Chains A and B, each alone.
Chain A
Amino acid sequence: MMGTIPTATNEDAGFLARERLATLLEAGRALGYRWQGPQLRDGAIVMAPLEEPSALPWGTGDRQAAGEYRTRPGDPRRAFAWANGPQALKPLVFAPRETLWRVKRDAQGRLAFAAETPLVPRTAVLGVRACDLAALELQDRHFLAPGREDPHYAERRHALLLVAVNCTHPAATCFCASTGDGPAAQTGYDLLLDELDEGYIVRVGSQAGQALFEQLTLRPVSEAQWQAAASATEQAVAAQQRVLPPGDLSGPLFGNLDHPRWEVVAERCLSCGNCTSVCPTCFCHRQDAAPSLDGASSDQQRSWDSCFSEGHSYVHGRSLRHDTRTRYRQWLTHKLGGWHAQYGRSGCVGCGRCIAWCPVGIDITEEAQAICGGGEHG
């Protein structure tokens, strides 16, 4: 997925000077969007409501390694010179906790059920990464499968406008080039930016993006600017060291359920579920009844769950996956195996979050190599 060099004849592209970034936010607001954008909070770059470009993480870079995430000073002319923080778009579309419906019991004991529809303001997100777009596309396949649309997800999803920024500073944990999902965004964005020292190349990806694009005052993109953007992408590809074994791994994974490596990784894994909560494609959730104190009504809530939790495999009074070996195996066999049969590709977009945010630094690429890499394919 090396960047083919786009040409300056592209009509739906223009150059936005760095000082004029505020006009993008204003144009979005004029079209009825509120903004979310990357900001530095408690030592990490996270998505938060964005009012002014000055709130962006200018001059902030990061250092990531297995079990490690730190921000550090970077180029002051850049607001997007970092690799992903802990959040993807997931919390914006698949809420960590929400009420699905509410039930009221009347004096005769009859139950009246009413759907709770989330009120979602139209939201434009600035600084979306290629891997996040790929992950969103996978979550769409899951939550918006024809005939099985999840109405809560759909409501949030359709309120989004996505302004992507091509990634120029992958972390050591990133391997999106090997999964084919980055570092340059291919599809799924409304607008796409390339950050250069003096400003942004802006490209259109959709009708909604076009509407926003038309509100901006842009200069033509110079040949040198196109070249700079393309070479930044090439460098971002070249900088990536980690790789996932290619292709559909369901054969080698499900064929190696008794591989000794599962025991080895289980000795390190804390079964904390950090990997599943930072993973942008994990969709597991549980439902719980939250009754009012007087018992007359109850909210049915769903919240994120993880295949590393005790209750995930609970059936007939016990957990089918009662040890860490089988839970780690569930995570890897589903993420890199089961997804192929379910949704036609691997469930990993190479964002590297599960590597950086694992307290003991377990590396999914290493584990996949160990299980699938040599011999014993079944």
Chain B
Amino acid sequence: MDRYRLPFDAEVAERVQEAADVFSLYLRIPDPDLARDYAFVPGQFNMLYLHGVGEIPISIVSDPEEPDLLMHTLRAVGRVTKGFEKLKVGDHIGVRGPFGHGWPLAQAEGRDLLLITGGLGCAPLVSVIEYVMRRRERFGHVTIIQGVKHHHDLIWRPRYEAWMRQPDTTVLLAADVAAAGWSWHVGLVTDLLDQVPLGPQGAATMICGPEPMMLAAAQRCLQLGVREEDVWLSMERNMQCATGHCGHCQLGPQFICKDGPVFPYTRLRTLLGRRGL
């Protein structure tokens, strides 16, 4: 069996607590051949296996051109993620992947970018932002919008502040609930879309976050003149296999693991926001 069906060993090289219940694991692949062969694109995910507990899909956050350390950022929500939370540097886990189709970065070259995220949905797009910042000349104006429920849910604040200082870059932050020290918008991500400097060409738009937020953001973008075929979303469903066999990740006729997780809006239009799909 190959690395899509049989996990390989990986070592936790670094662990960073990002927020009360959010942490990042930097993984090193001990097998030199595998480490050399392993390649991914932003937006793809791995199946991470915790010994004797279970396997879950987690997006890859790191830059594809720095594959020595694979970075994943997890929120501890349940059985498996809470187990991962307890891991220390030097512990080992299993990895299968990478899986799925990533963000349409080649198509987005030369265009303005609009990157809209909600909560930990920023993780799969942070890898896009880092990718773009390192190849800044290849892209037009970049707008980054991140929304959180509570002001203390904002992770990577120094990164957002650094991106704010970049030329030709707009960073807009929103929190539904904010306290003193939050100098940005209080309210929804969609409120901020009116401030986006959209040119006549619109923007290559990538959205990741809770489904209702993605739907609202996508619809607002379309109203503001973004073309439907320029809108891309990253979807989540229960995943057992990631190889297109277990049937759990189906959304209508799509298998999110193999047909996604990043989809053009046009393929999801009739399926989004439908309870129970």
Question: Once the chains are docked, how many angstroms separate the CA of A142 from the CA of B247?
Answer: 10
A109–B30 Cα distance when bound, in Å, is 13
Q: Mark B1-44, 1 if CB is under 8 A from A, else 0.
A: 10001111101000000000000000000100000000000000
Distance, CA A167 to CA B159, complexed state (A): 68
Whether A254 pairs with B9 at a CB distance below 8 angstroms is no
Docked pose: A204 CA to B61 CA in angstroms: 56
**A370 within 8 Å of B by Cβ?**
no
Question: Is A111 in contact with B248, judged by CB distance below 8 angstroms?
Answer: no
Residues of A with C-beta under 8 A to B9: 110-113
* Complex alpha-carbon distance, A305 and B240, angstroms: 11
Taking a contact as CB atoms under 8 Å apart, the answer to whether A115 and B253 are in contact is no
Residue A209 at the chain B interface, CB threshold 8 Å: no
Question: Which positions 273-330 of chain A face chain B at CB distance < 8 Å?
Answer: 283-289, 291, 295, 298, 300, 302, 305, 307, 311-317, 320-323, 325-326, 329-330
CB of A338 within 8 Å of the partner chain: yes
Residues of B within 8 A of A113 (CB): 6-9, 94
Closest to B8 in A: A113
**Measured between alpha carbons, how far is A223 from B275 in the docked complex, in Å?**
60
Known: A101-B1, A109-B91, A113-B94. A285 touches B7 (CB 8 A): no
B276 with A150: CB separation less than 8 A: no
**B6 near A338: Cβ-Cβ < 8 Å:** no
* Contact of A315 with B93 at beta-carbon distance under 8 Å, contacts A150-B245, A305-B248 already known: no
Q: A112-B9, A313-B237, A320-B276 are in contact. Are A143 and B247 (CB under 8 A)?
A: no
A198 to B84, CA, bound (A): 67
A314, B245: Cβ atoms closer than 8 Å? no
Say whether A326 contacts B92, CB under 8 Å.
Answer: no
Q: With A111-B93, A291-B52 as given contacts, are A285 and B238 in contact (CB-CB < 8 Å)?
A: no
B71 smallest CB distance to A (angstroms): 20
Which residues of the other chain, A, contact B277 by a CB distance below 8 angstroms? 257, 320, 326, 330
* B54 surroundings in chain A (CB, below 8 A): 287-289
Q: Is the CB of A111 within 8 A of B276?
A: no
Q: Whose C-beta in chain A lies nearest to the C-beta of B57?
A: A315
Residue B90 lies at the interface, judged by CB distance under 8 Å to chain A: yes
Q: Are A257 and B274 in contact (CB under 8 A)?
A: yes
Residue of B nearest to A153 (CB): B245
A314 CA to B238 CA, complexed, in Å = 6
Closest B residue to A340 using CB positions: B253
Residue of A nearest to B94 (CB): A111
**Which listed residue, B1, B52, B246, touches A284 by the CB 8 Å rule?**
B246
* CB atoms of A316 and B77 under 8 A apart: yes
A289-B54, A305-B240, A313-B238 known, 7 other contacts, Cβ within 8 Å: A109-B91, A110-B11, A111-B93, A115-B6, A145-B244, A307-B247, A329-B276
